[in-house]
Chain A
Amino acid sequence: MHVFQIINYMMRQIKPLRAYIFAVLIACLLTSCRNVFDVHPYDMNLHGEHDINATQIARIRQLFDKRDTLRVAFISDTHGWYTQTKAEIADINSRNDIDFVIHCGDVTDTGTTNEFRMFRDILSDLDVPHVVLLGNHDFLGMGEQTYEWMFGPRNFSFIVGRVKFVCLDTNAMEYDHVAPVPNFDYMEQQMTADSADFDRTIIVMHAAPYSDEFNDNVARAFNYYTLLFPGLMCCVYGHDHADTSVRIFDDGPMYYGIDSAQHRNYKIFTITPDGYEVERIDY
């Protein structure tokens, strides 16, 4: 009884502000769908488009699967540089010769929900289909889960024009080297999965072997596994913020490094039945 008296009394005391309190409660309810209230930088309070990679892969396969020549733009490490990323996307849109885009990871700087949301907004301006890999910066805080919700699994692959693109999570340091990264089981499975539909392979990753993120203990084993893929053409990676083309292993494939958005350049790969050509684009 006493408790009820207290509640009753308190309700009477706050009477002058009842409308305000009501407004606050309504505002709290609206929090879930407004950008105005920041619940927490890592709240994952997200709505709208998610599982983007799966949707975009379906688009890529539908549009270009019958092609024998593919023009693929590789971009990477756009984290934090929104102005440059917008310019990069505008540049890709202004060219009419690009079929689809692969982002090699690091879409956020600190893995916050806000940054993922802002990147998704910028990316949605891209006219051509696109897929996004997981970079080491995207792990921070709740970043890894945010990536999985927004883009999809950390390892994924797709076949277009009889070329298989195998996209791998190689950020071993983010797991303190205790998780199976790179995942050899996944690689082994991808060598043979849908083998009737592809003759050649391109492997895409965020961190290249012997970079600070890679599990260097398995670098040579990784090279061995890549060579088992049918018709391996090359590997493409980001992370280093440098435009490179190197042969990391003497007996291995070419590795092409994609520069960061900060340096305002990206690469276009033209894949023909005879091989491929790499072109650097400055914007």
Chain B
Amino acid sequence: MKWRGLTISLALLCVLLQFLGSVRAQETLPIDSLINREDSIYFMPEDDEGVYQSDIRLTTYEKRVRRYRKRWESLIPTQFVIQNAGNMGLLSFGLGWSSGKRNQWETHLLFGFIPKYKSDRAKSTMTLKENYIPWSIYLGKGVQLEPLRTGLYINSVFGTEFWQKEPSRYPNDYYEFLSTRFRLNIFAGQGITKIVPHRQRYFVKSVTAFYELGTCDLYIRARYFDNNVTFWDLMGLSLGIKLQLL
């Protein structure tokens, strides 16, 4: 139950962040920026000193509709992500939503697969991931460095072998950890972004390559029990690519 509660609250948090992000991202921005505004589906100038300024007076209804559209618009995915390993499967791919003033928050919904390997069948997984990218340093020539990307994610693996909470056959808290299905992971990494110039843009606004070093609750638990655990037994490397669509 604890896990379900945590999952729901994390999901709600993500949605909330989207709304906050959409409200905040209203500043005037340089041309090659990555902020959402220029791609907005409504294009009537609001407070700009444009030629139509004197002609347009928005009614309360129009303003409300605009706000309404804007809020729902924040649910449109802005990213496509592909990532390997990271306790999410051999390869995971999915959609992402960026938010925050500087797009410093990202929410990813990923689907991955685990090959059969030595088991009897392949398995699929689903991940809800929240990233925080505190700094973006513009290096010139459309290249931007993200010296830190960090966050946490919950992974769920599908299959009858895994249980969400201890089945009733066990006495309470028979196995101390919570679930074999859900894994809580934490990570830290870096990324580098190439912004696609306006005239070459067709579908992708920017491409980011990133790596992450992460671990999951089970490995932290093992490390807590016994420090005779090597670095790579605790940590895992994950590489990925993110395409910024909006």
Binding site for B on A (CB under 8 A): 6, 9-10, 12-14, 16-17, 20-21, 23-24, 27-28, 31-32, 35-46, 50, 80-84, 86, 109-112, 114-115, 118, 137, 140-142, 145-146, 149, 173, 176-177, 212
Contacts and interface: CB of A to CB of B under 8 A. Distances in A.
B163 to A, nearest CB: 9
A45 B115 CA distance: 8
A114 B207 contact: no
Contacts of A13: 196, 200-204, 207
Given A10-B204, A14-B204, A17-B241, A39 B226 contact: no
Contacts of A83: 226-228
Interface string B177-214: 10010010000000000101000111110010100001
Nearest to A50: B118
Contact of B162 (A20, A43, A141, A173): A141
7 contacts: A9-B203, A20-B241, A35-B232, A37-B238, A39-B90, A84-B226, A137-B175
B84 A149 contact: no
A84 B87 CA distance: 28
Contacts of A39: 85, 87, 89-90, 114-115
Contacts of B203: 6, 9-10, 13
B202 A43 contact: no
B232 A36 contact: yes
A35 B91 CA distance: 16
A67 to B, nearest CB: 35
A118 to B, nearest CB: 6
A216 B139 CA distance: 69
B119 A27 contact: no
The 10 closest A-B pairs by CB, nearest first: A38-B236, A37-B85, A82-B228, A80-B225, A44-B119, A9-B202, A176-B169, A44-B118, A44-B117, A141-B180
A37 B218 contact: no
A176 B157 contact: no
A27 B239 contact: yes
Contacts of A50: 118
Given A24-B241, A32-B117, A146-B118, 12 more contacts: A13-B202, A14-B204, A27-B239, A28-B91, A37-B236, A37-B237, A41-B218, A42-B114, A110-B180, A110-B222, A142-B161, A146-B119
Of B86, B89, B115, chain A has the most CB atoms within 10 Å of the CB of B115
Interface string B213-242: 010101101100111110011001111110
Contacts of B225: 80-81, 109
Contacts of A81: 225-226
Of A37, A81, A149, chain B has the most CB atoms within 10 Å of the CB of A37
Contacts of B155: 40
Contact of B87 (A20, A41, A80, A146): A41
Contact of A82 (B177, B201, B226): B226
Interface in B67-93: 84-91
Of A16, A23, A32, A176, chain B has the most CB atoms within 10 Å of the CB of A16
Contacts of B91: 28
Nearest to A41: B218
Nearest to A47: B118
B208 to A, nearest CB: 9
Contacts of A82: 226, 228-229
Given A82-B229, A86-B228, A40 B125 contact: yes
Contacts of A111: 180
B167 to A, nearest CB: 7
B85 to A, nearest CB: 4
B30 interface: no
Contacts of B174: 212
B120 interface: yes
Interface in B83-119: 84-91, 114-115, 117-119
B111 to A, nearest CB: 13
B118 A149 contact: yes
B88 A115 contact: no
B5 to A, nearest CB: 22
